[in-house]
Structure 1
Amino acid sequence: MLTRQEALTRIGRLQLKLQGKGMDGALFIYPIDVYYFSGTRQNSTLWVPASGEPRLFVRKSYTRAKAESCIDDTRPFPSSKEFPGAFGEEVKKIGFTFDVAPVQQYQYYQKLLPGCEFVDISAVNREIRSVKSAWELEQIRHCGVELGQVFRAVPQFLKEGMREVDLAAEFEYRLRKAGGEGYVRMRAFNQELFQGLAVSSATAGDTGFFDGAVTGQGMSAASPHGASAALIPADAPILIDYTAVFNGYIIDMTRFFVIGKLDPELEHAFGVAVAIQDYLAQNLKPGAICEELFLKALEMATDAGLAEHFMGAPGENARFVGHGVGLELDEFPVLAQGFKVPLQVGQTLAIEPKFVFPGKGVIGIENTFAVTENGGEKLSELPDDIVYL
């Protein structure tokens, strides 16, 4: 569970930002934001004044929220008439996370607090959450240990001719037995993910909605992501790209397996992917510009003659090579074109250089790193090598 000191530190950082922007406070309604600052994911609304004590208004379950919350003033959600009385008359400018708030909810709180100006603090919130404390880094390291154990067990159950979905089920079964929570929260609109994906050359090149290098075929048009009923062949790369979620925190890793031998072109691409990952990891230092790291990765792929396959099928390439992880899979920062932001110590990123060859398969690597003064700290101990069976 979140410690009281951890919560107070986070709230203090937020209050400094609010004061700097001349705001009177921030109102959080999105569950994972409420959890980040309060320690409970119960159905609640959190008010954090620019100075002073925060308040947590709970709809359900008040009993559980009261037991879990790090906020001293945790109370039942008041009636519409009583709600404005919880705010002083001096409160006029309120921060709100426009990136995730439905219009209906925005209008509801505007009606409850007439005369107040609601200002978007999505970027402020995401920047605060991007920098992980020592406690948070320990949660992610634990995820790495547990996920690594499942990856190590793959040779016990991966067989030629089994369906992708059976491979995924075996992997997910072991991860769940280890205590994995399964929730893979994503902030971006219209994005969703069921734990991860296990795909072979039969479907790895399939394009889709997911904002990443690989989508997979999925089980239907309603769930067009991840493993399918396709059979896993010999002599082709098998991608297992999974998250592990423990205590709310996420780690993201990818490993490749081959039953037999691998096409030389794919072996070459794997070497390039590892070289890109290693370069980026060495340069995950404070002050490094995210866009510049992405452009260097693209340059390395281009120099290797693989640019059209980098981070997606030709013509549908994703324009990033790394993304922040934490309580959500798509946190800040992003190593992407247009993201001209310097890295900060304590940020955590999944670095995932991958190459997609329609008809042949996908190859690459992914690990989660923490930004340090000396470069990226790998948050798992699993070797990067392709596993041949």
Structure 2
Amino acid sequence: MEATVTKQELETRILNLCTAMTKSCPEWDTALIINRINQYYLTGTMQEGLLVIKRNKTAQYFIRRSFKRAKEESMLKDSAVCAFYPMESYRDAAQVMGSELGNTLVETETLTISILERFKKYFSIKTLHPADSIIFGVRAVKSPYEIYWMKEIGKKHKILLDEVVPGILREGMSEIELTAELYEKMLKMGYHGVTRFYQFQTEMIAGQVGFGESSLVETNFDSPGGMRGMCPAVPIIGNRDRLLKKGDLVFIDVGFGMHGYHTDRTQVYIFGAAPSEEAVRAHRGCIEVEKRAAELLRPGNIPAEIYNSIMQDLEPNFLKNFMGFEGKRVKFLGHGIGLHVDEAPVIANGFTCPLQENMIIALEPKKGVAGVGMVGTEDTYIVTDQGGQCITGGEKDIIIV
């Protein structure tokens, strides 16, 4: 399949979003899209600009830079649904489409006060409404194009963690060296170079890498795993001073991405020794949780009910340090994934919209083991009538290297 998104698919995405916005906010008149990933999803190109969608199901894409590149990349350039215009400032957009926006939907997680003030210089907005959850709801159900590429990504992700990583690990290497060599291998396999998150101010190059108890260190990232990181100013990537030694647990939780899309997987290794019985029990307990959760990834099932049915059945001893370690524990079992690693739906309390076929969800049950590190699993699944279809290889025991 071609990597370029077709005109028909892009037009369908815009129309689907219009339908969803009307259902969620019947009084809407205009939607302003400034998030570059959302712009890419709807236009097939990622530029600095403003995508305006009107209630009549037409769109106008105003591009500051690069208009030339947008015209080269996007299949919408000849579409009746969306027109492209060069833009120096929002004044140019207002001159083309008029200043009256009426009831306006915006991405509240992206729109800053300063950008909003610039909007207000040239546009009249009657009311503001959040568009974030509406857009995520549309993006959550993947098209055949998206599923094809995420399956291809999942195949490479499996090879990376099952076959490539064991050949990289060597005694005395630092976490930074492992991350650097892992990143090089990923790029050569087709990785697009960055793992993207929607969560505000979240940075990640590939994912979390840690030796031993480094994988238990608390972070500012909403994940059960941990890492020491480079330094307080850059608490990601890995630590230069933590060197791999025999008996170390190696925790690798990385996204793999191509053409903008990602899968998510975690694999745990033990270097130069056998894992302890405690680590094996904890890890295999996580495998069983993943299997049970995957079986429930069926259309119509409620994410919050999946979460609670599994959590309520876990033994108190297993729940200790489950989904984190000591004070740092997250309150979910999985998350949607696609153009961002952290998408809807989330397998957690509060998410009550039923699952739909072709949603894609990463399940990641993990458990901290004192003095050892983080164990557990993560794989990416497609929601189907038969339960979750794994596209990253499936849960594995701790790999002995």
Q: Tell me if TM exceeds 0.5.
A: yes
Deviation at 1:381, TM superposition (A): 2.9
| 1:5-16 to 2 correspondences below 5 Å | 5-16=8-19
Identify the residue that residue 111 of structure 1 maps to in structure 2: 121
Residues 19-74 of structure 1 show CA distances to partners (whole Å, capped at 9, x for unaligned) of 33221231101101111100010112111112243111110011100111233311
| 1:332-371 to 2 correspondences below 5 Å | 332-371=344-383
Name stretches of at least 5 consecutive residues in structure 1 with no aligned partner: none
Deviation at 1:235, TM superposition (A): 2.5
Identify the residue that residue 134 of structure 1 maps to in structure 2: 144
Identify the residue that residue 248 of structure 1 maps to in structure 2: 260
Q: Distance in 2 between matches of 1:102 and 1:181?
A: 28
- Alignment check: 8 A CA contact 1:204 1:358 kept: no
Deviation at 1:221, TM superposition (A): 0.5
Deviation at 1:241, TM superposition (A): 1.0
Partner letter of residue 231 of structure 2? S
1:144 aligns with 2:147: no
Q: Distance in 2 between matches of 1:266 and 1:138?
A: 36
Picking from 81, 85, 88, the partner of 1:75 is 85
SS of structure 2 residue aligned to 1:250: strand
1:223 aligns with 2:223: no
Change (3 A) 1:79 1:252: closer
Change (3 A) 1:62 1:159: same
Deviation at 1:3, TM superposition (A): 1.2
1:284 aligns with 2:297: yes
Partner letter of residue 355 of structure 1? K
Q: Distance in 1 between matches of 2:204 and 2:311?
A: 26
Moved more, 263-272 or 43-52: 43-52
Change (3 A) 1:358 1:383: closer
Q: Distance in 2 between matches of 1:285 and 1:319?
A: 21
Deviation at 1:81, TM superposition (A): 4.1
SS of structure 1 residue aligned to 2:31: strand
Q: Distance in 1 between matches of 2:99 and 2:320?
A: 58
| 1:303-322 to 2 correspondences below 5 Å | 303=315, 305-322=317-334
SS of structure 1 residue aligned to 2:310: helix
Moved more, 222-231 or 372-381: 222-231
CA RMSD, aligned part only? Answer: 1.8
SS of structure 1 residue aligned to 2:393: coil
1:269 aligns with 2:272: no
Q: Distance in 2 between matches of 1:79 and 1:209?
A: 36
Deviation at 1:84, TM superposition (A): 2.2
- Alignment check: 8 A CA contact 2:101 2:125 kept: no
SS of structure 2 residue aligned to 1:305: helix
Identify the residue that residue 21 of structure 2 maps to in structure 1: 18
Identify the residue that residue 62 of structure 1 maps to in structure 2: 67
- Alignment check: 8 A CA contact 1:191 1:211 kept: no
Deviation at 1:317, TM superposition (A): 0.8
Deviation at 1:374, TM superposition (A): 1.3
Residues 104-131 of structure 1 show CA distances to partners (whole Å, capped at 9, x for unaligned) of 1122112221244332111111111111
Deviation at 1:338, TM superposition (A): 2.6
Q: Distance in 1 between matches of 2:268 and 2:170?
A: 14
SS of structure 1 residue aligned to 2:95: helix
Moved more, 20-29 or 269-278: 20-29
Residues 243-293 of structure 1 show CA distances to partners (whole Å, capped at 9, x for unaligned) of 111000011101111121111011001111000000000100112111222
Change (3 A) 1:339 1:79: closer
Identify the residue that residue 297 of structure 1 maps to in structure 2: 310
SS of structure 1 residue aligned to 2:325: coil
Length, aligned pairs only = 388
Q: Distance in 1 between matches of 2:157 and 2:275?
A: 25
- Alignment check: 8 A CA contact 2:47 2:65 kept: yes
Name stretches of at least 5 consecutive residues in structure 2 with no aligned partner: none
SS of structure 2 residue aligned to 1:297: helix
Picking from 47, 51, 55, the partner of 2:52 is 47
- Alignment check: 8 A CA contact 1:164 1:232 kept: yes
Q: Distance in 2 between matches of 1:168 and 1:184?
A: 14
Moved more, 82-91 or 191-200: 82-91
Identify the residue that residue 224 of structure 2 maps to in structure 1: 213
Q: Distance in 2 between matches of 1:233 and 1:204?
A: 15
Change (3 A) 1:76 1:37: same
- Alignment check: 8 A CA contact 1:184 1:250 kept: yes
Change (3 A) 1:299 1:81: closer
Q: Distance in 1 between matches of 2:288 and 2:159?
A: 25
Deviation at 1:226, TM superposition (A): 4.2
Q: Distance in 1 between matches of 2:399 and 2:316?
A: 23
Q: Distance in 1 between matches of 2:85 and 2:318?
A: 57
**Superposition TM-score, scaled by structure 2 size:** 0.92
Q: Distance in 2 between matches of 1:202 and 1:160?
A: 17
Change (3 A) 1:78 1:274: same
- Alignment check: 8 A CA contact 2:100 2:125 kept: no
Moved more, 45-54 or 134-143: 45-54
Change (3 A) 1:202 1:82: closer
